[in-house]
Amino acid sequence: MVDEYLSEREQAEQLRGWLRENWIWLVAGVALGLTPLVVRNAIVGAPPLALSSIGPLGLIYGQVADTTPALVHFSPETIRVLRESEGDLGRALPLIWTTYEGDWLRLARNQTARLGAAVSSFEAWDNVNWYYYRPRSPVLRWTLPFEVVLALGIVGLIVAPRARARQAPLWCFLVASLGTLLVTSVIGRYRPPLASVLLVYTGVALAWARQQVLAGRVGPVTLAAAGSVAIVLVSQHTAGALERQQRERATEYVRTAMSLYQRGNHAGALAEAQSGLRAAYRGPEQRVLPYGYAQLAQTMAALQSRNGRTAEAVEELAALARDYPDDADVELLLAAVYRDAGDEERARQHTEAGERLRAH
């Protein structure tokens, strides 16, 4: 075992000596870990060491010029490069560069934005949305958010004892995890490898802070706490408008409302639809309901009309029309509610308004 009081150079020398003597076991361990992958790939006819079926796809939608730093976005350039490369990585790389038209500055901006998303507080949804389930789950409610783990992990990296040789595998894993996020678009489930290393150093930071306090050295702990707060604040702003606009999505609200409705809980389904519509992003540039929310508006209007609450349906739809003035679907829903209530004149007015918006 390497003595923690050895110098960094002595630790590194001991590590190199261990590797010289035991390299064969290291190679055997790696081979053993890769064996199931190689066998599976041989069975399905894939390249022996293929780690992902969507590797080129992730690189393309993550690196084209009109990409987004987080979430999966099939932009026009993504579709073009996919079609022309036919999924071949070697053909995709030069095609990706053509999307920049020689603009190195735009490439740098894209990479900077992706780095900001990788270390941001934004949990970019994919299969499920963290922001929907966290307030509903007693376990997730008490889970440390990423920005706190990031801040304490950085403190831990700074104050960790000088045992760099022993920490080299962790550091390499940290760099590799961050590098992976910079290659493709950032989504929440791609970040746990990065967070897992930061959690180790979060523990280091907390243990160090306890030792400092017990020793009566409050100054360093205060400085570390201030630095942590600063990192948290920066992390909460590095994703910028993307986090504000994409924090919520309709998918979970729609599924829950449908499930409640199918179980006969119409009041619960209505409340879920209303909750989702209140959570939808509103901003000066958002002139129509965000993707998926029209279905929630339809569910809300149908349930209220069916229960004789036409006035409430009209009131809520009118509020949506004010928030999203270019949305034809909202106007047409208002027309349908008025028509069901027997008010043909207002139904006609909103139908015409919806058709005008749809024509534009």
**Interval 264-276 mean pLDDT:** 93
Place of tokens 């306890």: 210
In the predicted structure, residue 287 carries a pLDDT above the cut 50? yes
Q: What was the pLDDT predicted at 164?
A: 64
Q: Can you list the positions of beta strands (E) in 237-314?
A: none
Q: What was the pLDDT predicted at 2?
A: 43
pLDDT in tens, 233-264: 999 999 988 998 999 999 999 999 999 999 99
Q: What was the pLDDT predicted at 307?
A: 81
Side-chain half-sphere CA neighbours of 317 within 13 A:
32
CA separation (Å) from 31 to 21, 39, 339, 340? 18, 12, 69, 68
CA 117 – CA 70 distance, rounded (Å)? 6
**Interval 75-80 mean pLDDT:** 93
Q: Domain 251-359, what architecture?
A: Alpha Horseshoe (1.25)
Q: What was the pLDDT predicted at 6?
A: 54
Q: What was the pLDDT predicted at 160?
A: 87
Looking at the DSSP assignment, which residues form a beta bridge with residue 186?
70
Compute the mean pLDDT over every residue in the chain, rounded to the nearest whole number: 89
Place of tokens 């990409």: 67
Q: What was the pLDDT predicted at 225?
A: 96
Alpha-carbon Rg for the chain, nearest whole angstrom, is 27
Side-chain half-sphere CA neighbours of 208 within 13 A:
23
CA 331 – CA 357 distance, rounded (Å)? 9
pTM comes to 0.80
Q: What was the pLDDT predicted at 1?
A: 39
Place of tokens 């243990």: 207
Q: What was the pLDDT predicted at 30?
A: 85
Angle at 197 between CA 192 and CA 203, to 5 degrees: 115
In the structure, what pLDDT confidence band is assigned to residue 165 with cuts at 50, 70 and 90?
A: low
State how far Cα 114 lies from the chain centre: 12
Tell whether the torsion through CA atoms of 339, 345, 351 and 357 is positive or negative: negative
Nearest to 309 by CA among 337, 278, 275, 345: 337
CA 144 – CA 129 distance, rounded (Å)? 16
For the chain, give me the number of helices (H) and strands (E)? 18, 0
pLDDT in tens, 33-77: 889 888 988 898 878 877 766 668 888 989 999 998 998 888 999
Provide the 3-class DSSP secondary structure of residue 326: coil
Domain ranges of the chain: 1-41, 139-243, 251-359
pLDDT in tens, 111-154: 999 999 999 999 999 888 999 999 999 898 999 999 999 999 99
- Among the residue ranges 22-36, 194-208, 290-304, the one predicted with the least confidence is 22-36
Place of tokens 């990296």: 157
CA 117 – CA 187 distance, rounded (Å)? 9
**Residue 186 backbone phi and psi in degrees, to 5:** -85, 120
- Contact criterion met (CB below 8 Å) for 70 and 242: yes
Q: What was the pLDDT predicted at 27?
A: 84
Nearest to 276 by CA among 310, 243, 260, 299: 299
What single-letter DSSP state applies at residue 184? Answer: S
CA 119 – CA 191 distance, rounded (Å)? 9
- One-letter amino acid at 343 equals D
Q: What was the pLDDT predicted at 41?
A: 86
